[in-house]
Amino acid sequence: MKHFLRVLAQFCVFLYCKFLWRTFKFVVRKVTGRCELQRICYNNKPGARRTLKIESSLKFSKSELLQSAVNVHPDLVEKTIDSIMALKKINPDTNPQLGISLQASLLQIVGYRNLVVEVEKLRREPYDCENLEHEEMLLKLWKTLRPESPLSGRISKQWCEIGFQGNDPKTDFRGMGLLGLYNLLYFAEHDKATALQVLHDSLQPKHRTISRGETSNISKIEWEKKKFDKAIGYSFAIVGINITDLAYSLLVSGALKTHLYNVAPEMPSLVHFQQTFCYLMQEFHRFWIEEDPCDIMEFNRVRNRFHKKVLKQLKNPDMALCPHFAASDLHLVNL
């Protein structure tokens, strides 16, 4: 009974707050002559700050037109904005900027949804060695990362040199399908210098400097062994496929909205996602070195900490995860 009363009381408070909020919006609208969407556009600079607020305002609106706006086809965005302006009785001639701003935000919102669908499709498409296109991409990855040493054959131990597990990479793509290959190839082709550097470092056993006092007593053989134990290289391609998983989960959870709404002036596209992957590879590499793990067994721990760090960064509405090479290519909405 007590429990029931408590729930009832909470429900009443909820209704009351909702009522207060609606009344507040009504009063503000009467006083300022502006509706909520207008106020959001006037009070927030373009990018994630504005688009995130518009998105939640549309989603929680009581008007069906506004609620369904976030699901329209990109081709219908312009028409939808016209209908919203008409519904809100906003004169487009006296508020020309408002229509443009709303349209840009709505394109970002529906573009993000489409990007999730596109990325999901690539992730579900398995690597197929009968498919010529897939095979060509894989060979191109080799050529870009190892221009000086030709592959001895399609099935070769050499694949391990770029961090695959065995002599045929196809099995390594299982978790992320074609998406993993797309990302690795994009990184190798469009951010080549960084990709080569990361690959090079990942193959190097890193030696932790052991202080003199510690070494004075151990024999040379022991010293060599100790150095070997401190090797913390990792498998480039395998880690690339795993960081694809990380980028994918950031996208699907919606956490990447902050970043994409800040870097894509209109619809975010696959290229934006791939550039995010380049950034994550570079940052993960840096993070891995800083964390100084003893060996690859610590991958899980380091990855979790990295994931948390990125999630925290994305809580800041001004955040953009830009790889160094892209900052000038992207016409940043807001930085």
Ligand X SMILES: *[C@@H]1O[C@H](CO)[C@@H](O)[C@H](O)[C@H]1NC(C)=O
State the Cα–Cα distance between residues 218 and 51, nearest whole angstrom. Answer: 62
Q: Which of 312, 314, 309 has its CA nearest to residue 260?
A: 314
Q: Is there a contact between 231 and 287 (Cβ–Cβ < 8 Å)?
A: no
Q: Does 299 bind ligand X (CB under 6 A)?
A: yes
CA dihedral 237, 261, 304, 183 (to 10 degrees): -10
Q: Does 242 bind ligand X (CB under 6 A)?
A: yes
Interface with ligand X (CB under 6 A), residue from 119, 176, 179, 302: 176
Q: Does 217 bind ligand X (CB under 6 A)?
A: yes
Interface with ligand X (CB under 6 A), residue from 33, 213, 297, 328: 213
Instruction: Kindly state the smallest distance separating residue 212's Cβ from ligand X, in Å.
Output: 10
- Token look-up 């009070």 returns 43
Instruction: Kindly state the smallest distance separating residue 289's Cβ from ligand X, in Å.
Output: 18
Q: Is there a contact between 325 and 194 (Cβ–Cβ < 8 Å)?
A: yes
Please identify, using beta-carbon distances, which residue of 50 and 303 lies nearer to ligand X. 303
Q: By CB under 6 A, which span of 88-96, 237-245, 263-271, 321-329 interacts with ligand X? A: 237-245
Q: Does 215 bind ligand X (CB under 6 A)?
A: no
Q: By CB under 6 A, which span of 34-42, 187-195, 203-211, 296-304 interacts with ligand X? A: 296-304
Q: Does 219 bind ligand X (CB under 6 A)?
A: no
Please identify, using beta-carbon distances, which residue of 49 and 123 lies nearer to ligand X. 123
Q: Does 303 bind ligand X (CB under 6 A)?
A: yes
State the Cα–Cα distance between residues 148 and 307, nearest whole angstrom. Answer: 35
Q: Buried b / exposed e across 238-277, counting CB within 10 Å, b at 16+? A: bbbbbbbebbbebbeeebbbbbbbbbbbebbebebbbbbb
What is the contact mask toward ligand X in residues 1 to 40, using x (rule: CB under 6 A)? ----------------------------------------
Please identify, using beta-carbon distances, which residue of 97 and 217 lies nearer to ligand X. 217
Please identify, using beta-carbon distances, which residue of 153 and 213 lies nearer to ligand X. 213
Q: Total residues at the site for ligand X (CB under 6 A)?
A: 10
Q: Does 49 bind ligand X (CB under 6 A)?
A: no
Please identify, using beta-carbon distances, which residue of 272 and 303 lies nearer to ligand X. 303
Residue 118 three-state SS:
helix
What is the torsional sign of CA 62, 63, 68, 73? negative
Q: Which of 303, 253, 243, 312 has its CA nearest to residue 278?
A: 243
Q: Which of 240, 256, 31 has its CA nearest to residue 144?
A: 240
Q: Which residues bind ligand X (CB under 6 A)?
A: 175-176, 213, 217, 241-242, 245, 299-300, 303
